[in-house]
């Protein structure tokens, strides 16, 4: 029996402690033994034929994996549940979104089902061995089912972490141009706020026109990827645009980066898109003053 317990623990341990009835049977537990462990509390039934090993509650990843198991082969974690697993939206412990292509799935407690005719392989990736919609597809799905503010927040976070590009979202829309939420995604892609390359072009032109020392851009120092750097003066310029608006994780990451840089002897200036566009002289004056000190 010890060998059976070890086999079950090995399988569940690689799956966030989630295990299916079929896997339990393959591991050597009979139906009676499964029922006994459920009654004793060493197995928790999360869904029909899907269990959690141990008495602790499932992790967010475990909840998602159990939902996918319950929906059978080809089930893909999607929508808000996928955004939460990618860290694009905060965890809320709600229902788990699962997309299934080409077939109907019965009701599952705690699972929000999404049926599609087909799901392109380009729209599916893996996370910890589990099928999840790609980040671009996930954001497009959010536009169909969630508040626009949540969709925009997820898009901002993905852009901030360089996990997605507007072109990737355009590719999803090209495959399904009439999908629900498409107008929201198109509006986000057309957002007039500056892209990274536009910011760099504007700031470098201002620096050249003012005949200030030319910096380097998009380089790493102290383990941080910084927007603009004057190495000799140990001065860092960071753009506070699209990526830092009102999202907790982005805000926390920016503050941590600033602390690491300051602790290493760097000075950090932050400018916004509005300042760069509407107050270019004030921006360049601040930079010039910082380079002198």
Instruction: Quote the pLDDT of residue 246.
Output: 46
Residue with tokens 């009701």: 107
pLDDT < 50: residue spans in the chain = 243-246
Total structural domains in the chain?
3
Tokens of residue 75, six digits: 């089930």
Instruction: Quote the pLDDT of residue 28.
Output: 87
For residues 235 and 282, membership in a common domain is answered with: yes
Q: What is the DSSP secondary-structure string of 150-198?
A: HHHHHHHHHHHTT---HHHHHHHHHHSTT-TTHHHHHHHHT--SPPHHH
**CATH number (domain holding residue 273):** 3.40.960.10
Instruction: Quote the pLDDT of residue 245.
Output: 44
For residues 68 and 41, membership in a common domain is answered with: no
d(CA 120, CA 125): 11
Distances (CA, A) of 20 to 37, 66, 68, 212: 14, 8, 11, 64
Domain boundary among 166, 189, 212: 189
Instruction: Quote the pLDDT of residue 241.
Output: 58
Domain boundary among 189, 216, 240: 189
For residues 66 and 184, membership in a common domain is answered with: yes
Instruction: Quote the pLDDT of residue 127.
Output: 94
Instruction: Quote the pLDDT of residue 158.
Output: 86
Cβ(90)–Cβ(133) below 8 Å: no
d(CA 27, CA 49): 14
For residues 146 and 216, membership in a common domain is answered with: no
Instruction: Quote the pLDDT of residue 105.
Output: 82
Instruction: Quote the pLDDT of residue 257.
Output: 84
For residues 14 and 127, membership in a common domain is answered with: no
For residues 48 and 64, membership in a common domain is answered with: no
pLDDT digits (tens, 9 = 90+) for 267-282: 999 998 888 888 999 9
Helix, strand, coil % (nearest 5) of the chain?
50, 20, 30
Domain membership of residue 203 as a residue range: 196-292
For residues 26 and 111, membership in a common domain is answered with: no
Domain boundary among 53, 77, 92: 53
Tell me 215's DSSP state: -
């Amino acid at each position: 029996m010890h060998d059976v317990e070890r086999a079950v623990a090995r399988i569940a341990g690689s799956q966030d402690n989630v295990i299916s009835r079929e896997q339990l049977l393959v591991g050597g537990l009979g139906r009676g033994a499964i029922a006994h462990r459920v009654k004793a509390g060493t197995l928790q039934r999360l869904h029909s034929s899907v269990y959690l090993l141990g008495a602790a509650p499932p992790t967010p990843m475990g909840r998602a994996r159990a939902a996918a198991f319950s929906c059978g082969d080809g089930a893909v974690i999607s929508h808000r549940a996928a955004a939460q697993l990618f860290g694009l939206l905060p965890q809320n412990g709600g229902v788990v979104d699962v997309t299934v292509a080409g077939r109907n799935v019965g009701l599952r407690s705690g699972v929000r089902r999404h049926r599609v005719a087909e799901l392109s392989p380009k729209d599916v990736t893996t996370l910890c061995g589990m099928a999840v919609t790609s980040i671009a597809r996930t954001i497009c799905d959010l536009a169909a089912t969630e508040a626009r503010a949540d969709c925009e927040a997820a898009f901002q976070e993905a852009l901030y972490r360089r996990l997605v590009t507007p072109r990737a979202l355009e590719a999803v829309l090209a495959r399904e141009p009439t999908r629900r939420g498409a107008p929201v995604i198109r509006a986000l892609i057309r957002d007039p706020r500056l892209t990274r390359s536009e910011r760099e072009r504007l700031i470098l032109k201002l620096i050249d026109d003012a005949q200030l020392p030319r910096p380097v851009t998009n380089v790493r120092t102290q383990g941080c990827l910084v927007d603009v750097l004057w190495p000799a003066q140990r001065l860092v310029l960071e753009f506070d645009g699209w990526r830092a608006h009102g999202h907790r994780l982005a805000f926390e990451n920016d503050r941590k980066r600033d602390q690491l840089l300051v602790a290493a002897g760097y000075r950090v200036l932050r400018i916004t898109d509005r300042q760069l566009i509407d107050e270019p002289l004030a921006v360049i004056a601040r930079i010039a003053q910082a380079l002198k000190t």
